[in-house]
Amino acid sequence: MNAPERNDKKPSPRVLVFACRWCALVGADAAGRKKTELPASFRVIPVECASMVEPDSVLRALASGADGVAVMGCHLGGCRFNDANHVAVKRMEALGDLLDTVGIGRRRLLLSFGTAHEGHEFAEILGNFLQELGPLPELTPWRKTLLNLPAFR
């Protein structure tokens, strides 16, 4: 994967990953065990199921300094909780529409369902996402506005 360029002027984009512990977290772990090189600018929050991720949490993450958010769960039809991730996909797609509407853009929200189960898949998906986020402008003005909302203070 793209190794971090330490002389790069622009730091690597910050990404918060919500990883379902039945799929993407296994992938993240496998990437670790294989010692795949990845930029140190992402953080993983393990969740029991992707359906547990509130749309709020995604906005909150963007407001708290993340340049992008990744929500990763099991493949559709392979959820450990019956059909829970089907609902999660719809919810996250709707959130994507919302992000487009307010001008943040759905490009900052990565959805992966069943595509990050292997270490190399996780590394590839994350690497591509970081590359895509790279040229995007900082979220600062918007973030400041949001951070000043009472709900986030």
Partner 1 sequence: MPGVMVFLCRCCGRIPPTVDLSALGEKIDREEGVVAVETRDTICLPEDRAAMLRSFEAGGADRILVAACSPYGKADDVVAKLSAACGGDRSRVRLVDIREGCAWIHRRDPVGATAKAGDLIGMNLGFLRHGKCSADAVVAVRPECMVVGAGSAGMAAALSIARAGHRVHLVERGAGMGGMLKLLSHVYPTDAGAEEKLKPSLQAISAQPLITLHAKTRVAAATGYAGDFKIRLASGTEETNLHVGAVILATGAGVWLPRGLYRYGELKGVLTLMELERRRKEGEETPRRSVFIQCVGARCPERPYCATFCCPSSIKNAALIKKEDPGAEVTILHRDIMTPGAILERYYRSALEAGVRFIRFAADAPPVVSGEGKVDSVAVFDTISGVKREIAADQVILSTPLVANADNTKLAELFHIGIDRYGFFREDYPLHPLETRQAGVFICGSARWPVASGDAAAQGEGAAMKALAILGRERLSARSLSRLPEGKLGHARIEDAFCSGCGNCVAVCPYEACALQKVGGIFVSRVNKMRCRACGSCTSVCPNGTIQMPEHNARAVGAMIRRAFSLREAR
Check residue 98 for interaction with partner 1 (CB under 8 A). Answer: no
The residue among 54 and 97 lying less far from partner 1, judged by its C-beta, is: 54
Three-class secondary structure of residue 123 per DSSP: helix
Check residue 41 for interaction with partner 1 (CB under 8 A). Answer: yes
Total residues interacting with partner 1, rule: CB under 8 A: 51
Could you give the CA distance from residue 69 to residue 108 in angstroms, rounded to a whole number? 6
What secondary structure does DSSP assign to 21-73, as a single string? TTTHHHHHHHHHHTT----TTEEEEEES-GGG--HHHHHHHHHTT-SEEEEEE
- Closest approach of Cβ 138 to partner 1, in Å? 12
Give me the sheet containing 42-47, strands edge to edge: 42-47, 15-20, 68-73, 109-113
CB 71 within 8 A of CB 16: no
The residue among 32 and 105 lying less far from partner 1, judged by its C-beta, is: 32
Applying CB under 8 A, among 23, 24, 27, 49 the residue interacting with partner 1 is 49
Applying CB under 8 A, among 38, 70, 116, 146 the residue interacting with partner 1 is 38
Residues near partner 1 (CB under 8 A) are: 3-4, 6, 14, 16, 21-22, 25-26, 28-29, 31-33, 35-41, 43-49, 51-57, 60-61, 64-66, 77-84, 87-88, 91
